[in-house]
Structure 1
Amino acid sequence: MIKQLWTGLIAVFLFSSSGFAQGIIENDHPFTLQECIKLGLKHNTDIKKAQLDESAADFQRKEITGSGMPQINAYGNYNNFLDVFPQAIPGGVLNPESDPNGVDVISFGVPQSIKAGFQINQLLFSQSYLVGLKAVQSSEEFYRLLTQKTEEDIIYDISLNYYGVIATQLQLNNLQANHDKLSRLEKIIKAQYENDLARKVDHNRVKVNLTTLETQMDNLEIVIEQRTNYLKLVMGLPVDVDLELAPYDFNDQNLPVRSLAANAQLSDRYDLQVLDKQLELNALNIKNIQSGYYPTLSAFADLNYNAFSREFDFISDSHVWYRGSLVGLKLSLPIFDGFQKKNKIAQARVKSEKLKQDQFMTEQAARAEYLNARKKLGNSLKSLHAQESNLDLSEDVFDQTEKLYKEGLAPLTDLLDAETALREARSAFYNQIINVKTAQADLYKSTGNIEKIYQP
């Protein structure tokens, strides 16, 4: 009975977990690249963490802003002097009978006292506070840029992994098409062999090729599963979710030729904008350190009630409470700190110089990335046209060779060679299509416009 109960609980848990995971995907049709990217932007954990950093920056801004608002505190303390502190006064001051040249020791105060009140502090002027307000605003923009950069990286990663799965599926489709042709050929040769019209060796050679294709197809199915699972991880989906990708549309002739004619706008890259914001934040940090040379002025007020007694009877209604209150100003003027701020400013300026060096190298790397991506895309488009022509030629050769073989005018070797050449040509064509798409993604990313890859 207990075993059946545990089995039922495990089954319910697995069913609910599967239902929850599958509920993430609302579509019931194969996913396009655009749909994968939108889903990834919604569920990717790196993006969620970047958004949490944005929220933390917003809370930090509110925290610093709150430090300039009135600070109100309630306090209370209770003292029980087991021995009242003695005080020494000149002799004869309070007791005429004492020696005027001596010292009288008396106890001022009572054994027990209690005090409760409120304190209010208000910052009136602080240069560091004013600089801090500017810094937190820039910090919010900094984390917003980091989120956008993370989204850009995720779009790029999803695109490349999507194309990787599609490329493998195309290779599998290519092998399947050739497998179908060889299967039909194998049936024909088998019938011819059974009627003594073909040699057994020819039939065996075709069967060997079929077995080889089947093994390659099995291996590609494993690769598709592995790449699809990794795509799910990049998208932020549980690996047990069923994710089916839409097949590549060969009627889509929207090749990224216009991308080659567009001028590079490297200022749109988020990595460069992040470095600019880091320089701005470091400049504000220098100003914040320099603000330590400015005076700080604040106002304060205190309202309290005090009670004194020889015994603990403060809860008595007849007990007398004495009110005390004060207001005042507090001015803090720094004079000398052992050159600490001077050296902190020097360190911050060194950091700015390092950031400028990083900025220069990043700009050069971005420029090189753009030039390489543009060259890659141009060459990929040129190779695509060549592979397309080669594929058409291979298909014609195979069709003609097949007809000649059926008519007994061509040996089986020519037909198998034509089949191999067709398979390789189609594989090269499929690979080149993916190369064009990945080159397009590289070009968009190099200019900071990777979102164009999934926009209609």
Structure 2
Amino acid sequence: MMFFSFPGLGQAKQENPSPSDTLDLKACLNLGLENSRSIKKALMDEESAKFYRNEVKAGGLPQISAYGNYNNFIDVFPQAVPGGLFGPGDADDVAVIALGVPQSLKAGVTVNQLIFNSSYLIGLKAARTSEEFYKTLSLQTEEQVIYDIAMNYLGVTQMELQRENLRANVDQLKGLERILEAQVANDLVRKVDLNRVKVNLSTLESEMENLETEIFRGLSYLKLIMGIPVDTPIELKKSEVNPETIANFQMTDLDPESRTDIQVLDIQKTLYDYEYKNIKATNHPSLVGFADFNRNSFSNNFDFLSESKVWYQGSLIGLKLQVPIFDGFAVKSRAAQSKIRQQQLLEDRAQALDAAQMEYNNATKKYFNALQTLRANEANLKLAEDVLKETALLYREGLSPLTDLLEAESTQRQARANFNNQLVQVRIAQLEILKSTGQITRITS
């Protein structure tokens, strides 16, 4: 295990930051975790899974329903009986009579109670696992939002540092321009030298205008993934990108089991196991208890509301046993399909493990290379600044031409840009290491 300090991602904690404040990375992450629409949708899925579990659980509770049935036989159904059954007649004849009364009314309550069903028991376990599945998906969504916000935050910060670098150089050239204008007016220098400065100044100002557009677009997208209105004015702190904030960084070894994408696949495997068991359980017997309590009344006319009407009570209880015998091998075929899906998932998991190892290896390689390049850029920047100071001094003493000064200024500007860009690359590599090890949420604490 290797340890590097990494204090920049979490110094003074800012409670409930406002978008109008100057925001550091942690403040942006807190706003994003609170307002991200992706996270809100994931939490809704998690809540829906809880209701689904209640729905499955309800299948094992008593199912009670009331019913009513009114019949008005315009013609009472005829019934055929042997002759002489209800009076004189030949037994070989058939007598047709009308049994029953024209009107009847029945109301009652039925109760059904599941006593045993293997699919129900397996379904309860699967529903509980589904809750865990959606909780893990919520964590995965949260990690992705944190990563997206951090990466875009660093991207905008990189452009703002470049803007500051250009602005400093523009200020230097404007100062030099004023000096040269006075010298040209007194015929101390050639006008072509002044024109060279004006050309360089115009180029830098055009670069700044283009950079302003890119910064605006970057901030707009950052606000979009944070879930705040895109017209909300925000300003980012630059303290996240400096040598001090990358000095401490704790890098742990890869543990694939801590990655939410692997955890999601493991939970999916459990769900497939339940699916297979549930399919096989359809061949198991099931037992249901039932009861019916009712009141009946009969009449030749509709007088059921009469107080003297007689109502007859009926009730029954019973058991219903269902034993599947032969289904044409449908269950066997469905179970085989479920097994194939499990095998496909195992291949997905193996590929995800390889991808996690590759991601971690790439991130660590990028990190150490970025550190090495940063040290070289830091040395180049110091050298370029020294050259610019010496060239400016020689130019003021008339010992160096303007072209050397402009070239030294351009070299120093590029060295500063390279150094700032490499600082961002180191921070990006650190974030990628945290993401590859499943530790990206560390930057919010």
TM-score bucket (shorter structure): over 0.9
Q: Equivalent residue for 2:293?
A: 303
Cα RMSD after superposing both structures: 1.3
CA contact (8 A) 2:39 2:142 kept: yes
* CA shift for structure 1 position 253: 1.2
Following the alignment from structure 2 to structure 1, what is the Cα–Cα distance between the partners of residues 22 and 328?
69
Q: Equivalent residue for 1:443?
A: 433
SS in 2 for 1:289: helix
SS in 2 for 1:106: strand
Name the stretch that deviates more: 190-199 or 368-377.
190-199
CA contact (8 A) 2:163 2:211 kept: yes
Following the alignment from structure 1 to structure 2, what is the Cα–Cα distance between the partners of residues 311 and 51?
60
1:209 equivalent to 2:200? Answer yes
CA 1:224/1:315 → structure 2, altered by over 3 Å: closer, same or farther? same
Deviations 1:269-304 (A, max 9, x none): 100000000011000100111111211111111110
1:82 equivalent to 2:79? Answer no
Residue 237 of structure 2, aligned match among 242, 246, 257? 246
Residue 105 of structure 1, aligned match among 93, 96, 102? 96
Q: Equivalent residue for 2:27?
A: 35
Q: Equivalent residue for 1:362?
A: 352
SS in 2 for 1:254: helix
Q: Equivalent residue for 2:184?
A: 193
* CA shift for structure 1 position 257: 5.9
Following the alignment from structure 1 to structure 2, what is the Cα–Cα distance between the partners of residues 259 and 376?
16
Residue 46 of structure 1, aligned match among 38, 48, 51? 38
Following the alignment from structure 1 to structure 2, what is the Cα–Cα distance between the partners of residues 312 and 28?
76
User: 5+ unaligned residues in a row in structure 2: which ranges?
Assistant: 1-15
Query: Any residues of structure 2 matched to 1:298-447 within 5 Å, and which?
Result: 298-447=288-437
CA contact (8 A) 2:17 2:27 kept: no
User: 5+ unaligned residues in a row in structure 1: which ranges?
Assistant: 1-23
Residue 59 of structure 1, aligned match among 46, 51, 63? 51
Following the alignment from structure 2 to structure 1, what is the Cα–Cα distance between the partners of residues 333 and 123?
20
Query: Any residues of structure 2 matched to 1:125-164 within 5 Å, and which?
Result: 125-164=116-155
Following the alignment from structure 1 to structure 2, what is the Cα–Cα distance between the partners of residues 240 and 78?
65
The structure, 1 or 2, with the larger RCO (C-alpha pairs under 8 Å, 6+ apart) is 2
Tell me the TM-score normalized by structure 2. 0.94
SS in 1 for 2:176: helix
Quick one: which amino acid aligns to residue 91 of structure 2? P
Query: Any residues of structure 2 matched to 1:209-248 within 5 Å, and which?
Result: 209-248=200-239
SS in 1 for 2:282: helix
Deviations 1:147-167 (A, max 9, x none): 000011111100111011101
CA contact (8 A) 1:256 1:440 kept: no
Following the alignment from structure 1 to structure 2, what is the Cα–Cα distance between the partners of residues 243 and 72?
58
CA 1:397/1:454 → structure 2, altered by over 3 Å: closer, same or farther? farther
Following the alignment from structure 1 to structure 2, what is the Cα–Cα distance between the partners of residues 192 and 366?
64
Tell me the TM-score normalized by structure 1. 0.92
Following the alignment from structure 2 to structure 1, what is the Cα–Cα distance between the partners of residues 338 and 181?
82
SS in 1 for 2:246: coil
Q: Equivalent residue for 2:264?
A: 274
CA contact (8 A) 1:166 1:248 kept: no
Following the alignment from structure 2 to structure 1, what is the Cα–Cα distance between the partners of residues 260 and 298?
67
Q: Equivalent residue for 1:16?
A: none
CA contact (8 A) 2:19 2:234 kept: no
Following the alignment from structure 1 to structure 2, what is the Cα–Cα distance between the partners of residues 280 and 201?
78
Percent identity of paired positions between Structure 1 and Structure 2: 51
CA contact (8 A) 1:272 1:363 kept: yes
SS in 2 for 1:327: strand
CA contact (8 A) 1:114 1:306 kept: yes
